Amino acid sequence: MARKYFIAGNWKMHKTRAEAAVLARELVAALKDGRHKYLIAPGFTTLETVAALIKDSNILLGAQNCAVEEQGAHTGEVSVLQLKDLGVQTVILGHSERRHIYKEDDGLINRKVRLALKHGLDVILCVGELLEEREDGRAEAVCKRQTVEGLKGISADDFSRVTIAYEPVWAIGTGKTATPEDADAIHAYIRKVIGELYGSGAAESVIIQYGGSVKPDNAAALMAKENIDGALVGGASLESGTFVPIAKFS
């Protein structure tokens, strides 16, 4: 079964509304004839601005996180209901920065995944190991734990709305990239884990993105690998000059 490439840009904590508008307009123009699936995830404060600009385009609107509760006394949090109200279609959960800087554990991430899916949002679930975990030979074990725990209680039906993003933490923003072979090996392993959880059909159809210093000059080599189905792009998604060549790698 042919999987469709899915290229997503995570803008992280960058861009004012004016800056976000400039980039969104450039991407709408540059990607209108693109053949793949595209998403951009601006910061919360720019979601409404970007939503209006990409409304009738082929670019999906993503959010970088959501609260673990639907609503209530949660100062500083943003709920799935508020995200949906802005037109958000997909939420990125379990990003390594959330796991390691903000100490979100597998249980918390799983609750967020279930909440987002319950409210009809698609999910990009991020998994990946630290450098010391890779050097200790634990990369597969870490990715398996994060995948299995992140998907606890998710039905096969709901799982069809989940994309997995493999992000070796040691390759994010460091300029280091897993070799295409290293990345493909972990992607193949994650696909095997999905097969154990949901069967071979789900394993075959699940989109597994690679994230970690994806650039215009390495995108095609990564995408050429059998088990790599797209990219979750960080730094290179902040300029159309670097994101568009990745998005149109083929």
Query: What are the respective helix, strand and coil percentages of the chain, to the nearest 5?
Result: 45, 15, 40
DSSP label of 45: G
Is the per-residue pLDDT at 247 higher than 70? yes
Q: What is the mean pLDDT of residues 207-225?
A: 95
Mean pLDDT of the chain, nearest integer: 96
pTM across the whole model: 0.97
CATH 3.30.1370.140 fits 6-247, yes or no: no
pLDDT in tens, 82-108: 999 999 999 999 999 999 999 999 999
| The pLDDT of residue 248 | 97
Active site residues: 95, 167
> CA 52 to CA 122: how far, in whole Å?
20
Beta strands in 153-236 (DSSP E): 162-166, 208-210, 230-233
